């Protein structure tokens, strides 16, 4: 039963194009491994970096296992507090992925609903929404995120700030990403709304809300899916950048970006691994998502189907 | 030996799941000075054969067997040979003149470029030749117009430029793939005459591919009928159209709407050659009980009074200059009686679709009034009453490929209007209604669980009709309901509409550019031109005794299949 279902999925045109694309398969495997590892971090990681009992300052600055002075207990070495780099990275990627997914969902809901409504309703409302996106697109997304983060800091007391960091970041990144969604969905809606099945719904007398969300929305999900994949890697990188700049996650709860920032301090004194491995990890993660997005863009594009 | 010859041509398209044979052992020949027509329904392989001649088959299609010879030169074996011959010895005329010219270059640049690619003329000579060509295809003041861009020409003029391009290198063979399908009747007439004239003057061989039997009858000497990649019949045009031998051919000829008489129903042939007996429609007692019968009351149902519509395309500063505005409708009036079918006929831009949109409340008129029974449809004050009448006016659209939501199952497409108009209906009752509707339009109940893309154009149009009937409308607007369909499918859909009208006493507003179809479908007809009504009369009187000069011209120019029988 389940095997039949899986067979059916792989037998569709998209499944076929997936099977044919080695890059897509490789990217999916890498991405899935990272996601699963971060989901089951407590099982996969040899140490719990947040458990003070397992951390010993005596182990600080241990190099990776294969170099001089390395310790086979710590495959990728340890940082300045004696935390195992491998475990810390896995826990860090959990935070990065959470922020990435949550912020992209936030941006998606905001952007898609504004995009569909402005594309369908038109008029003054459309002009206002689209000028908003234009203005926001002139501000670099990092700057936008910094701005939101800064304002949030002003409102939240310092003691709460570390706990609230994750929500602030989701909001900040989400707000910097939504114009992409709004523009793409508006463009797709403009195409879709003149098709005759929409006219037919209007003649029946369906309300605008029903037409927009029941009829148009399912038909414009393809481009939205593509940009949300590419947006996901964007969001993860933005989060890392913010953490690198010191406005993201605190050292007690490090994301990949925070780890890179710490490592950066020791880069020139010879402890290269503290920054190198998280950075490579981040690159692999973002790259696998981007490759997946690239494949998806081609596979979902009817014009390229003939190939 | 003939001047052009195709022998045993096999073309295959290999896809992931199956191999489609688009052409099976196709053989025919062509002499100079002869026009040959290839007809067939969509998917019959007629365009594939034409593209194969100039080696322009889309991947993954390929010629697997056979030979194509032009003047004893084998074309389909060597890519180099065909590159020299394409454009030089074979000219190609595409369907859509809007897209077959590059909008960024002037006509001159495009003509000169083509001429210089295939000959040794210098720029001035090529320019002189281009001007002569434009004169030959009937463009006035060619010296001045040659510097214009394609968008400065009208559709018909553009198709003339395309023809000039096709003959610019003095080809021996011209392939015209649906050359007039995108054009209006009056322009079609001129373009076909031009092609006929050029064929004789330049001693060309011409292959015309079309689905329009009228065009075939008026222009071609011989005709080839194709179906599923096979040639089913070929021979003299007059013979094929008057005495077809094969079943496929017979059913094709029978489903063409005659221009000279009104018939009650189209006769249809089943694949084994028997005539399909009447009424595919099975009205269950249930639906009659549900709906009740409506009397044919001969009361006025729709009153369209002095309606004018000006499109002022959302510019921020509305232009004061009223002359620059486009009047889509200019003081149009007509009325429709309950139970009749009323036709609107006109060329593109005559405002037919605008009328449909105004009646169905998709857009509002600039001035004028529309009464449905006695209720004004565009009075801003009685919105509630208008919504009540919404279900009574429904519409069937032209393009069956975009008129159904691709993400909905057929079941849900039909259920939506039912649920919308009868809020407290239970699921069982909804299902019953859906079954009734799908039976009425002659489709199987299994099709309810499928998605629109699994159906052909004609089946989709049936689903579309079922959806329109779901609200139990009194007025059904059909906006070119069959112009995207093949003739035999058109005949089926038109039969269905006739049956429905008879049994349910529907009032139909039938919009079309196709005069023969109007003659078969409508009791009364209005002829429109540039947003104005030329004349309104009984359909038969219009065809037999047209009053307005424009109507007379339209009737004279329309291609008639009877012209050679």
Write down the ipTM of this complex. 0.77
CB contact under 8 A, B403 and A197: yes
Q: Which chain A residue has its CA at the smallest distance from B473's CA?
A: A204
Q: Label residues A81-110 b or e (16+ Cβ within 10 Å = b).
A: bbbbbbbbbbbbbbbbbbbbbbbbebbbeb
Are B322 and B353 in contact by the 8 Å Cβ rule? The answer is no
Q: Say whether B399 and A203 touch across the interface (CB within 8 A).
A: no
The pLDDT, as a whole number, for residue B278 is 52
Chain B hits for A196, Cβ within 8 Å: 397-399, 402-403
Please compute the mean of the pLDDT values over residues A157-173 and round it to a whole number: 82
Q: B546 φ, ψ to 5°?
A: -70, 140
**DSSP structure class, residue A58:** G
Percent of chain A past pLDDT 70, that is, above it, reads: 98
Name the pairing type of β-strands B300-311 and B326-337: antiparallel
Shortest distance between the Cα of B234 and any Cα of chain A, in A, equals: 34
DSSP letter for B366, please. S
Residue A30 has pLDDT above 90, yes or no: yes
Residue of A nearest to B392 (CA): A204
Query: Which single residue is written with the structure tokens 């004279």?
Result: B556
Helix (H, G, I), strand (E, B) or coil at B508: strand
pLDDT per residue rounded down to tens, chain B (565 residues): 678 888 888 888 887 777 888 888 889 888 888 999 998 888 788 888 888 888 888 777 888 888 888 888 887 777 777 777 877 888 888 877 778 888 899 989 998 988 888 888 889 999 999 998 888 888 888 888 889 888 888 878 888 888 888 888 888 889 998 888 777 887 888 888 888 988 998 888 899 998 888 888 888 999 999 888 888 888 888 888 888 888 888 888 888 888 888 887 777 776 666 666 555 455 555 565 566 556 656 788 888 888 888 876 555 555 555 555 677 888 899 989 888 899 999 887 788 888 998 888 888 888 888 888 877 877 766 666 666 677 888 999 988 888 999 888 999 999 998 888 877 788 888 888 888 888 888 888 888 988 888 888 888 999 999 999 888 888 899 998 888 888 888 888 898 888 888 877 789 999 998 888 999 899 999 999 888 899 999 998 998 889 899 999 888 888 887 776 6
Q: How far apart are the C-alpha atoms of B217 and B311, rounded to whole Å? A: 40
Q: Which helix (H) or strand (E) holds B217?
A: helix B213-219
**Which pLDDT belongs to residue B41?**
82
Q: Which residues pair with B303 in a beta bridge?
A: B335, B371
Report whether pLDDT(A222) > 70.
yes
d(CA B538, CA B546): 10
- Residue B364, classed as helix, strand or coil, is coil
Helix/strand/coil percentages in chain A, nearest 5: 80, 0, 20
Look at B403 and A196 and tell me if their CB atoms are within 8 Å: yes
Could you report the per-residue pLDDT of A267-287, keeping only the tens digit for each? 888 778 888 888 999 999 999
| Chain B CA closest to residue A196 | B403
pLDDT at A289 over 70: yes
Residue B117 CA: distances (Å) to CA of B54, B55, B80, B144: 17, 19, 15, 24
C-beta atoms of B471 and A199 within 8 A: no
Q: Which 3 state secondary structure label does DSSP give A274?
A: helix
C-alpha A135, offset from chain centre? 23
The answer to whether A255 touches A243, Cβ cutoff 8 Å, is: yes
Beta-carbon neighbour count of residue B326 at 10 Å? 11
- The shortest CB-CB distance from A200 to any of B393, B397, B407 is to B397
Give Cα separations from A63 to A85, A88, B75 (angstroms).
10, 15, 71
Per DSSP, what are the bridge partners of residue B19? Answer: B14
Instruction: Quote the CA–CA distance of A305 and B428 in Å, as a whole number.
Output: 41
Q: Answer for the pair B444, B452: CB distance below 8 angstroms, yes or no.
A: no
CA A1 to chain CA centroid, Å, is 33
Whole-number Å distance between alpha carbons of B444 and B145? 57
| Interface contact flag, A218 B407, Cβ < 8 Å | yes
Alpha-carbon span B101 to B91, nearest angstrom: 14
CA-CA distance, B333 to B534, in Å (whole number)?
Answer: 11
Pairing of strands B35-40, B205-209: parallel
Q: Measure CB to CB from residue A197 to each of B394, B398, B404 and give the nearest one.
A: B404
pLDDT recorded at residue B317? 52
Q: B391 and A205: CB-CB below 8 Å?
A: yes
Locate all alpha helices (DSSP H) within B422-534, ordered by sequence.
427-440, 457-469, 487-504, 515-521
- Looking up tokens 């159209």, which residue turns up? B241
B464 to A200: CB separation less than 8 angstroms, yes or no: yes
For tokens 């109007």, the residue is B518
Q: Which residues of A touch B399 (CB under 8 A)?
A: 196
Q: Which residues of A touch B (CB under 8 A)?
A: 16, 195-197, 199-206, 215, 218-219, 306
What residues of chain A lie within 8 A of the CB of B423, using their CB?
A: none
Preferred mutation among B407, B472, B473, B476 to probe A, highest tally of A CBs within 10 A: B407
User: In A37-65, which positions are buried (b, 16+ CB within 10 angstroms) versus exposed (e)?
Assistant: bbeebeeebebbbeeeeebeeebebbbbe
Rounded to 5 degrees, φ, ψ at B335 are: -140, 155
Beta strands across the sheet bearing B326-337: B326-337, B300-311, B367-372, B375-376
Residue holding tokens 């969905």? A185
* Beta strand pairing call for B532-538 and B475-479: unpaired
Long-range CB contact pairs, B416-425, < 8 A, 24+? B416/A201, B416/A204, B416/A206, B416/B467, B416/B470, B417/A204, B417/B391, B417/B467, B417/B470, B417/B471, B418/B470, B418/B471, B420/A204, B420/A205, B420/A206, B420/B471, B421/A204, B421/A205, B421/B391, B421/B471
pLDDT band (50, 70, 90) for residue A290: very high
pLDDT digits (tens, 9 = 90+) for B30-40: 888 899 999 88
Among A230, A224, A252, residue whose Cα is nearest residue A165: A252
Q: Which residue has the tokens 């919009």?
A: B511
Count CA atoms closer than 13 A to A103's CA, side-chain side.
Answer: 32
E strands, B58-111, in order: 61-70, 73-74, 90-93
- Residue keyed to tokens 């059916």: A8
B479-514 pLDDT tens trace: 988 888 888 888 888 988 888 888 777 899 999 988
Q: Compute the half-sphere exposure of residue B218: CA atoms within 13 Å on the CB side of its CA.
A: 21
Give me the residues paired with residue B62 across strands: B12
Interface contact flag, B362 A206, Cβ < 8 Å = no
What is the maximal distance between C-alpha atoms in chain B? 80
Q: Count CA within 13 A, CB hemisphere, residue A173.
A: 31
Tokens of A173: 């990144």
Cβ–Cβ < 8 Å for B465, B443: no
The CB density around residue B194, as the number of other CB atoms within 10 Å, is: 17
State the virtual CA torsion across B435, B441, B442, B446 in degrees, nearest 10. -40
Candidates B16, B360, B404; nearest CB to A203: B360
Q: Are the beta carbons of B403 and A215 separated by less than 8 Å?
A: no
């Amino acid at each position: 039963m389940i095997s039949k279902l899986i067979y059916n999925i792989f037998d569709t045109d998209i499944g076929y194009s997936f099977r044919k694309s080695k890059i897509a398969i490789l990217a999916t495997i890498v991405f899935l491994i990272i996601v699963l590892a971060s989901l089951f971090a407590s099982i996969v990681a040899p140490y719990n970096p947040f458990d003070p009992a397992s951390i010993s300052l005596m182990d600080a600055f241990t190099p990776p296992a294969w170099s001089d002075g390395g310790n086979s207990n710590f495959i990728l070495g340890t940082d300045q507090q004696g935390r195992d780099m491998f475990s810390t990275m896995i826990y860090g990627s959990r935070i990065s992925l959470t922020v990435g997914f949550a912020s992209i969902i936030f941006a998606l809901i905001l952007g898609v609903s504004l995009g569909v409504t402005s594309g369908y309703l038109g008029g003054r409302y459309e002009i206002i929404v689209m000028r908003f996106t234009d203005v926001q697109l002139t501000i670099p997304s990092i700057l936008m995120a910094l701005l939101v983060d800064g304002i949030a800091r002003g409102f939240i007391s310092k003691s709460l700030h570390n706990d609230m960091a994750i929500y602030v970041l989701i909001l900040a990144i989400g707000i910097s990403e939504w114009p992409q969604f709004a523009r793409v969905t508006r463009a797709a809606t403009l195409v879709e709304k003149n098709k005759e099945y929409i006219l037919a719904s209007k003649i029946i007398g369906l309300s605008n809300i029903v037409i927009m969300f029941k009829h148009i929305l399912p038909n414009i999900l393809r481009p939205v899916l593509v940009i949300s994949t590419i947006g996901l890697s964007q969001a993860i990188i933005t989060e890392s950048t913010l953490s690198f700049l010191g406005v993201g996650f605190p050292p007690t709860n490090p994301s990949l970006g925070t780890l890179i920032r710490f490592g950066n301090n020791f880069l020139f004194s010879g402890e290269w691994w503290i920054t190198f491995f998280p950075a490579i990890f981040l690159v692999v993660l973002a790259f696998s998502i981007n490759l997946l997005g690239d494949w998806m863009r081609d596979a979902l594009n009817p014009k390229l189907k003939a190939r | 030996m003939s001047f052009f010859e195709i022998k045993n041509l096999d073309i295959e398209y290999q896809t992931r799941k199956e191999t489609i044979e688009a052409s099976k052992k196709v053989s025919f020949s062509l002499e100079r000075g002869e026009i040959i027509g290839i007809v067939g329904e969509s998917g019959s392989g007629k365009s594939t054969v034409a593209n194969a001649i100039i080696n322009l088959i889309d991947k993954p299609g390929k010629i697997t067997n056979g030979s194509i010879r032009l003047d004893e030169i084998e074309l389909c074996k060597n890519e180099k040979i065909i590159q020299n011959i394409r454009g030089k010895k074979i000219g190609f005329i595409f369907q859509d003149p809007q897209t077959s010219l590059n909008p960024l270059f002037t006509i001159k640049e495009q003509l000169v470029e083509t001429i210089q690619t295939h000959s040794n003329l210098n720029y001035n000579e090529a320019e002189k030749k281009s001007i002569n060509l434009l004169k030959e295809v009937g463009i006035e003041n060619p010296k001045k117009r040659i510097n214009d861009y394609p968008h400065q020409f009208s559709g018909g003029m553009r198709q003339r430029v395309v023809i000039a391009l096709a003959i610019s290198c003095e080809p021996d063979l011209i392939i015209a793939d649906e050359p007039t399908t995108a054009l209006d009747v009056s322009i079609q007439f001129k373009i076909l005459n031009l092609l006929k004239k050029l064929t004789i003057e330049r001693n060309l061989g011409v292959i015309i591919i079309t689905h329009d039997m009228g065009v075939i009858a008026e222009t071609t000497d011989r005709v080839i009928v194709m179906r599923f990649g096979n040639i089913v019949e070929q021979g003299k045009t007059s013979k094929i159209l008057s005495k077809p031998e094969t079943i496929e051919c017979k059913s094709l000829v029978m489903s063409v709407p005659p221009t000279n008489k009104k018939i009650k129903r189209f006769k249809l042939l089943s694949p084994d050659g028997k005539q399909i007996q009447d009424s595919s429609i099975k009205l269950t007692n249930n639906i009659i009980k549900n709906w009740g019968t409506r009397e044919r009351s001969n009361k006025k149902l729709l009153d369209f009074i002095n309606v004018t519509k000006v499109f002022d395309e959302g510019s921020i500063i509305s232009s004061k200059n009223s002359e620059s505005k486009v009047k889509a409708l200019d003081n149009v009036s007509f009325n429709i009686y309950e139970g009749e079918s009323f036709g609107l006929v006109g060329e593109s831009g005559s405002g037919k679709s605008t009328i449909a949109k105004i009646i169905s409340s998709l857009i509002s008129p600039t001035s004028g009034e529309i009464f449905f029974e006695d209720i004004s449809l565009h009075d801003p004050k009685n919105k509630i009453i208008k919504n009540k009448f919404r279900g009574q006016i429904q519409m069937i659209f032209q393009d069956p490929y975009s008129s159904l939501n691709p993400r909905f199952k057929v079941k849900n497409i039909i259920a939506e209007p039912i649920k919308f108009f009868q809020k407290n209906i239970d699921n069982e009752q909804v299902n019953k209604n859906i079954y009734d509707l799908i039976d009425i339009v002659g489709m199987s109940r299994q099709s309810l669980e499928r998605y629109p893309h699994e159906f052909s154009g004609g089946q989709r149009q049936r689903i579309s009709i079922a959806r329109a009937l779901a609200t139990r409308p009194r007025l059904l607007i059909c906006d070119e309901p069959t112009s995207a369909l093949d003739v035999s499918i058109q005949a089926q859909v038109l039969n269905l509409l006739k049956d429905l009208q008879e049994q349910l006493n529907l009032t139909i507003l039938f919009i079309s550019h196709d005069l023969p179809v109007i003659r078969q479908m409508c009791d009364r007809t209005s002829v429109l031109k540039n947003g104005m009504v030329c004349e309104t009369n009984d359909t038969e009187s219009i065809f037999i005794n047209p009053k307005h000069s424009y109507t007379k011209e339209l009737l004279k120019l329309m291609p008639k299949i009877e012209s050679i029988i």
